[in-house]
Amino acid sequence: MVSKKIIILYLIALSIFSIYILLLFSNYSEIPETVASHIDITGKVDGYSHKNSLCISSIVNLFILVFLGLLIKNPKYANYPVELTDENRENVYKKMQLFLVVIAIITTLVFSYMIFKAIGLEKNYIYLIIYVITVPIFTIIYFGRSK
């Protein structure tokens, strides 16, 4: 069983994906034909691709989200570093679901930054980060009080 908190966190990852897909397609004609495809650790662009690569990377992100969503829904198929017993199974499943949903959010944030940068909105990226930080906090507070 997937808890409400995990579902809400997964919906946050999906909403980030939806936001950047809407931004990508609404600004696609304004994106230059050649976009940065790789940025090194210092922030210097060292690889370029055609703007169609943004669509391909979005499809890759969607596949990752679907795969992680299936693992979150069916945690018995994940690989665990501990032996599952009847006593620890539920607790280990919950921890794995939380881990997977955090990975989904982080992965989607990384892909979304690529889109924001290509569109030229990287300065507005902070608003997406604030959304990702505040919504889970308020969700946890809300569900924590409702028990």
Higher pLDDT: 48 or 36? It is 48
Specify if 111 maps to a domain.
yes
Neighbouring C-beta atoms of residue 49, cutoff 10 Å: 16
Specify if 146 maps to a domain.
no
Kindly give, in sequence order, each residue whose CB lies less than 8 Å from that of residue 43, ignoring residues fewer than 6 positions away.
Answer: none
pLDDT in tens, 19-37: 889 989 998 998 889 888 8
Which two tokens mark 36?
């940065």
User: In which domain, by residue range, is 76 found?
Assistant: 4-140
Specify if 147 maps to a domain.
no
Total tally of structural domains belonging to the chain: 1
pLDDT of residue 93: 92
Place of tokens 């650790």: 41
CA–CA distance, 50 with 35 (Å, rounded to integer): 6
Whole-model pTM: value is 0.81
